[in-house]
């Protein structure tokens, strides 16, 4: 079975974990007195999860092979970092976290199969995982049926809420509305051209954007809306249309490898992003790595986290991440959200005083994480996070410069009234 | 000349071994999670059996069987989704009573082609007839014009790609790349419980044996002989007065129907359907299962689907980052070393020994039996 002695792990961590494992028998021989306040397993685990006196097992379920691997690797790394830090700080209810990693292989049914394995076979107390909406939709019935707990890191389209999922990324309104208000107010933008890859997240996001532009922003209008198949690399015709209609803002939700073609063709067509406002909600530092900073410099992105954020939590997080995974790694919005998963779970378990899924689900609302790299976050009754919306401007070195952030945390609203 | 017995002795042995394995050993030894996985693997065996008929015997290599697997699967999924989208279950939507993804895509009424899937009997018919009809159109268009061989393989692949793009693009009607998810009940019976999974497994195995017998029947009739003759010397068959195109169309349609049954069972076993089973990659994988099992052997196809998928699961559980390389190496090794697949290994190495053992005991010639198992190449 897969465990922490995986070849993919960089050696320092591996050595540490091996040392940790070697120490485990000693710990269990010492028994209770080693951790004075460790509650009995029978009391904190009444439903047969994989919890022992010294250990608790969680699952990590992401694609490490296939087309999504490039996006999901950051999440895996962040989750492993969080788990290591939690273990170094004494674990959860006195128990070290052990993780079992499974590969979703960028294939939705494989995600469902592996999710079932993690819940039914391995009895994982929680699972950190999934990235695309399609993979989440595939595993959701599994988590609901076998009563598991999923910490899902990606910003997504909303329209979902489950007792068995904590959404640590933003739902669509958190990412869209504040950004549109900002661009309208500070740039005086009146006309918008909406672009997107053709699947549920960009379509739903653009629907919300359109409703907000038409109904809530004075005198603003959408002058075009177009979608492209996933993986598409031909954007010349839409770029020509953009040149003709001259929108104040290009609003782009293009994902994956298509981004590279889109921004390069935009540049080649002579659209200068230092003059033409472009606002995206789909390009994080990870994507810029592929696009090339010089091709996208000047574009604005609306996220909740940028690697460049200047706060004490982030100043500790970024070096720790780079120390574990290499100097060249970049940290995007989703990677940070994935890092929140294990921590929120730990805090919730300690609030509930139990690993039981039902108790965790009930205890989740109101759980606060003050150490989040993005700043303070809190879980809402609807299992999404209260977080700030931020606008950053891409620089040629591949980093974002923070331009604007909302004064307060934005309430998550997965079923927004008036936007459906 | 038709064999006087339906199965010769080695086939009977294979039939019994498979029956014991699927009806007794696996259900008794595996927990319900693993048994459900086996059920998932077996859905590909249906496709494999069809491929043995159309590729192994008929010589028609289709790289688009995922299309038929998907059509069968989507027909079943549409029925299950409509049942799961009752007005009571979908109260929070702006239009209750339609599937959730339609609501997200601003559809306000059920599209006309979804309506027949309210009825279970029509759904069952559609699972068989829609893919058969589709195969008939493709087959008629291709074979009547004498498009064959590599060109046919390329065209089937193109069709698989087109269908995927169509499904992904029309997400308001099809669920897009997410597929049709969150399926709950079949005719009021909850398919998500362990008990239901157990029953579904047996339903599937019975259906599988039904398909094996049907395929064996086709193989043994004059039709099967003509398929082999066509593969070897198409012109001679044509000059002998047979309509080659019609026989090819039949084999292709039969393979499509088998694949569709597999697809429908897949939806029931896994609980959802998505375009990732329709496209080029899954279609080629299905051909690989058959090649590993042995494209001349009906039982080989079943074993191939079981073993390759089992290897896929266990390799990916043990080596999440490296498993794809291992699987690739396995395919290369099998194809290079054993071009006739597992059934070739059996026929060339295991069978002769068994025969020799039996022959020495019964002092009877085993020559006749070996000839039956080997392809006429």
Distances (CA, A) of B271 to A81, B196, B265: 34, 12, 10
Residue A290 and residue A179 share a domain: yes
Q: Which of A219-223, B341-345, B365-369 has the highest mean pLDDT?
A: A219-223
Backbone angles phi, psi at A249, to 5 degrees: -135, 130
Nearest CA in chain A to B165: A229
Which residues in chain A are closer than 8 Å to B94, comparing Cβ atoms?
420
Residue A298 and residue A210 share a domain: yes
Mean pLDDT of B91-98: 83
Residue A352 and residue A400 share a domain: no
CB contact under 8 A, A200 and B169: no
Residue A202 in domain: yes
Residue A414 in domain: no
Strands (E), chain B: 185-186, 189-190
Euclidean distance between CA atoms B193 and B36, whole angstroms: 11
Q: What is the pLDDT of residue B375?
A: 45
Provide the shortest C-alpha distance from residue B182 to chain A (in Å).
6
Q: What is the pLDDT of residue B76?
A: 96
Which residues in chain B are closer than 8 Å to A110, comparing Cβ atoms?
316
Nearest CA in chain A to B312: A110
Residue A287 and residue A276 share a domain: yes
Provide the shortest C-alpha distance from residue A138 to chain B (in Å).
6
Q: What is the pLDDT of residue A38?
A: 82
Mean pLDDT of B40-54: 95
Q: What is the pLDDT of residue B44?
A: 96
Provide the shortest C-alpha distance from residue A74 to chain B (in Å).
14
Q: What is the pTM of this model?
A: 0.82
From B89-93, B223-227, B368-372, the region with the lowest mean pLDDT: B368-372
Q: What percent of chain B has pLDDT over 70?
A: 95
Residue A296 and residue A182 share a domain: yes
Residue A349 and residue A260 share a domain: no
CB contact under 8 A, B101 and A200: yes
**What is the per-residue DSSP string for B324-357?**
HHHHHHHHHHHHHH-TTHHHHHIIIIIHHHHHHH
Q: What is the pLDDT of residue B362?
A: 66
Nearest CA in chain B to A417: B94
Residue A327 in domain: yes
Which residues in chain A are closer than 8 Å to B318, comparing Cβ atoms?
1-2
> Any chain A CB within 8 A of the CB of B25?
no
> Any chain A CB within 8 A of the CB of B316?
yes
Residue A26 and residue A89 share a domain: yes
Which residues in chain A are closer than 8 Å to B177, comparing Cβ atoms?
134, 199-200, 230
Q: What is the pLDDT of residue A17?
A: 46
Provide the shortest C-alpha distance from residue A32 to chain B (in Å).
33
Residue A27 and residue A166 share a domain: yes
CB contact under 8 A, A199 and B177: yes
Nearest CA in chain B to A228: B169
In a 10 Å sphere around its CB, with 0-12 CB exposed, 13-18 middle and 19+ buried, how is residue B202 labelled? middle
CB contact under 8 A, B178 and A204: no
What band does B369 get if pLDDT is binned at 50, 70 and 90?
very low
Compute mean pLDDT per 10 residues along chain A, 420 residues long, and list them: 41 45 43 59 92 95 85 94 96 95 89 94 96 91 94 92 96 92 93 90 90 92 90 90 95 89 94 94 91 94 96 96 94 96 97 96 96 96 96 95 95 86
Note the ipTM here. 0.74
Tell me, what CATH number does A228's domain have?
Answer: 3.40.50.2300
Residue whose entry in the numeric block shows the structure tokens 């076998």: A146
Residue A29 and residue A150 share a domain: yes
Residue A249 and residue A207 share a domain: yes
Selecting from A8, A103, A198 the residue whose C-beta is nearest the C-beta of B168 gives: A198
Q: What is the pLDDT of residue A270?
A: 92
Which residues in chain A are closer than 8 Å to B317, comparing Cβ atoms?
1-2, 102, 114, 117
Residue whose entry in the numeric block shows the structure tokens 């900073």: A293
Provide the shortest C-alpha distance from residue B321 to chain A (in Å).
6
Mean pLDDT of B47-53: 95
Q: What is the pLDDT of residue A136?
A: 93
pLDDT in tens, B195-205: 999 999 999 99
Choose, out of A14, A63, A108, A210, the residue to mutate when testing the contact with B (most B CBs < 10 Å): A108
Selecting from B169, B182, B276 the residue whose C-beta is nearest the C-beta of A229 gives: B169
Residue A136 and residue A82 share a domain: yes
- 107-166 of B, contacting A, C-beta below 8 A: 165
> Any chain A CB within 8 A of the CB of B4?
no
Euclidean distance between CA atoms B89 and B87, whole angstroms: 6
Residue A248 and residue A395 share a domain: yes
Give the domain range for residue A202: 172-303+389-405
Nearest CA in chain B to A230: B168
Selecting from A2, A116, A137 the residue whose C-beta is nearest the C-beta of B181 gives: A137
> Any chain A CB within 8 A of the CB of B37?
yes
Mean pLDDT, chain B, as a whole number? 88
CB contact under 8 A, A103 and B176: no
Which residues in chain A are closer than 8 Å to B70, comparing Cβ atoms?
none
Which residues in chain A are closer than 8 Å to B164, comparing Cβ atoms?
none
Provide the shortest C-alpha distance from residue B87 to chain A (in Å).
18
CB contact under 8 A, A199 and B318: no
> Any chain A CB within 8 A of the CB of B187?
no
From A135-144, B29-38, B194-203, B312-321, the region with the lowest mean pLDDT: B312-321
Mean pLDDT of B8-36: 89
Which residues in chain A are closer than 8 Å to B171, comparing Cβ atoms?
198-200, 203
Mean pLDDT of B99-126: 91
Q: For chain A, how many structural domains are there in total? A: 2
Alpha helix (H) residue ranges in B271-340: 280-293, 298-318, 323-337
| Structural element, H or E, at residue B250 | helix B244-270
> Any chain A CB within 8 A of the CB of B89?
no
DSSP B63: S
CB contact under 8 A, A102 and B177: no
H, E, C per residue of chain A: CCCCCCCCCCHHHHHHHHHHHHHHHHHHHHCHHHCCCCCCHHHHCCCCCCECCCEEEEEEEECCCCCCHHHHHHHHHHHHHHHHHHHHCCCECCEEEEEEEEECCCCHHHHHHHHHHHHHHCCCCCEEECCCHHHHHHHHHHHHHCCCCEEECCCECCCCCCCCEEECCCEHHHHHHHHHHHHHHHHCCCEEEEEEECCHHHHHHHHHHHHHHHHHCCCCEEEEEEEECCCCCCCHHHHHHHHHHCCCEEEEECCCCHHHHHHHHHHHCCCCCCCCEEEECCCCHHHHHHHCHHHHCCCEEEECCCCCCCCHHHHHHHHHHHHHHCCCCCCCHHHHHHHHHHHHHHHHHHHHCCCCHHHHHHHCCCCEECCCCCCCEEECCCCEEEECCEEEEECCCCCEEEEEECCCCECCCCCCCCCC
Nearest CA in chain B to A205: B104
Selecting from B176, B317, B324 the residue whose C-beta is nearest the C-beta of A200 gives: B176
Gyration radius of chain B over CA positions? 22
Give the start-to-end residue ranges of the domains of chain B: 9-308
Q: What is the pLDDT of residue A33?
A: 41
Which residues in chain B are closer than 8 Å to A121, comparing Cβ atoms?
33
């Amino acid at each position: 079975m897969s465990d922490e002695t995986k070849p993919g792990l960089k050696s320092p961590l591996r050595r540490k974990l091996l040392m940790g494992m070697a120490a485990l028998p000693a710990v269990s021989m010492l028994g209770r007195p080693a951790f004075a306040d460790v509650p009995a397993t029978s009391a904190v685990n009444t439903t047969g999860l994989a919890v022992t006196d010294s250990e608790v097992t969680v699952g990590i379920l992401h694609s490490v092979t296939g087309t999504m691997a490039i996006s999901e690797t950051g999440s895996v790394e962040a989750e492993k970092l969080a788990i290591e830090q939690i273990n170094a700080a004494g674990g959860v209810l006195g128990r070290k976290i052990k993780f079992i990693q499974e590969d979703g292989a960028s294939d939705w049914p494989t995600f469902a199969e592996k999710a079932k394995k993690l819940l039914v076979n391995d009895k994982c107390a929680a699972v950190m995982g999934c990235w695309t909406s399609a993979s989440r939709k595939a595993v959701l019935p599994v988590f609901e049926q076998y009563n598991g707990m999923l910490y899902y890191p990606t910003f997504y389209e909303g329209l979902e809420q489950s007792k068995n999922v904590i959404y640590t990324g933003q739902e669509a309104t958190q990412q869209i509305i504040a950004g549109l208000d900002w661009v309208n107010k500070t740039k005086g933008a009146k006309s918008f051209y909406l672009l997107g890859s053709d699947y549920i997240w960009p379509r739903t996001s653009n629907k919300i954007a359109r409703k907000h532009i038409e109904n809530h922003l004075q005198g603003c209008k959408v002058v075009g809306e177009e979608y492209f198949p996933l993986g598409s690399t031909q954007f010349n015709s839409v770029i020509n249309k953009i040149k003709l209609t001259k929108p104040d803002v290009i609003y782009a939700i293009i994902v994956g490898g298509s981004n590279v073609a889109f921004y390069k063709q935009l540049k080649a067509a002579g659209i200068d992003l230092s003059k033409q406002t472009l606002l995206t909600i789909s390009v994080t530092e990870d994507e810029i790595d592929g696009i090339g900073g010089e091709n996208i410099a000047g574009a604005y992105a609306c996220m909740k986290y940028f690697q460049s954020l200047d706060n004490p939590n982030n100043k500790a997080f970024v070096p720790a991440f780079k120390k574990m995974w290499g100097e060249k790694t970049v940290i995007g919005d989703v990677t940070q959200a994935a890092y929140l998963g294990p921590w929120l779970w730990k805090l919730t378990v300690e609030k509930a005083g139990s690993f039981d899924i039902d108790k965790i689900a009930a205890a989740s609302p109101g759980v606060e994480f003050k150490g989040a790299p993005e700043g303070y976050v809190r879980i809402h009754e609807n299992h999404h996070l209260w977080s700030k919306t931020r606008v950053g401007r891409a620089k040629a070195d591949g980093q974002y410069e923070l331009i604007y952030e909302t004064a307060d945390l934005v309430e998550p609203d997965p079923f927004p009234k008036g936007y459906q | 000349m038709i064999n006087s017995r339906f199965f010769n002795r080695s086939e009977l042995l294979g039939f019994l071994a498979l029956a014991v394995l699927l009806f007794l050993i696996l259900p008794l030894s595996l927990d319900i999670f693993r048994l459900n996985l086996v059920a998932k693997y077996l859905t590909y065996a249906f496709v494999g059996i069809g491929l043995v008929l159309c590729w192994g015997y008929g010589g028609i290599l289709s790289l688009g069987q995922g299309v038929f697997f998907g059509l069968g699967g989507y027909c079943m999924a549409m029925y299950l989704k409509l049942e799961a989208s009752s007005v009571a279950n979908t109260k929070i939507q702006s239009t209750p009573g339609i599937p959730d993804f339609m609501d997200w895509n601003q559809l306000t009424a059920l599209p006309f082609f979804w309506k027949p899937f309210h009825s279970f009997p029509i759904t069952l018919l559609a699972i068989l007839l829609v893919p058969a009809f589709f195969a008939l159109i493709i087959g008629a268009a291709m074979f009547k014009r004498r498009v064959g061989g590599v060109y046919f393989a390329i065209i089937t692949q193109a069709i698989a790609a087109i269908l995927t793009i169509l499904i992904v693009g029309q997400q308001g009607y099809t669920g897009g790349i997410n597929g049709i998810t969150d399926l709950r009940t079949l005719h009021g019976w909850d398919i998500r419980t362990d008990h239901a999974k157990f029953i579904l497994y047996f339903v599937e195995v019975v259906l599988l044996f039904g398909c094996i017998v049907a395929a064996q029947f086709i193989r043994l009739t004059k039709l099967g002989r003509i398929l082999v003759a066509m593969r070897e010397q198409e012109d001679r068959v044509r000059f002998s007065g047979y309509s080659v195109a019609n026989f090819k169309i039949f084999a292709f349609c039969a393979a499509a129907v088998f694949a569709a049954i597999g697809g429908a069972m897949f939806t029931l076993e896994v609980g959802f359907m998505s375009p990732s089973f329709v496209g080029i990659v899954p279609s080629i994988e299905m051909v690989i299962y058959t090649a590993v099992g042995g494209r001349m052997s009906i039982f080989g196809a079943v074993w191939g689907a079981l073993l390759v998928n089992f290897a896929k699961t266990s390799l990916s559980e043990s080596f999440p980052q490296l498993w794809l390389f291992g699987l690739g190496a396995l395919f290369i090794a099998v194809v290079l070393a054993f071009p006739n697949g597992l059934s070739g290994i059996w026929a060339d190495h295991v069978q002769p020994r068994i025969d020799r053992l039996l022959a020495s005991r019964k002092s009877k010639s085993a020559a006749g039996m070996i000839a039956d198992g080997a392809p006429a190449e």
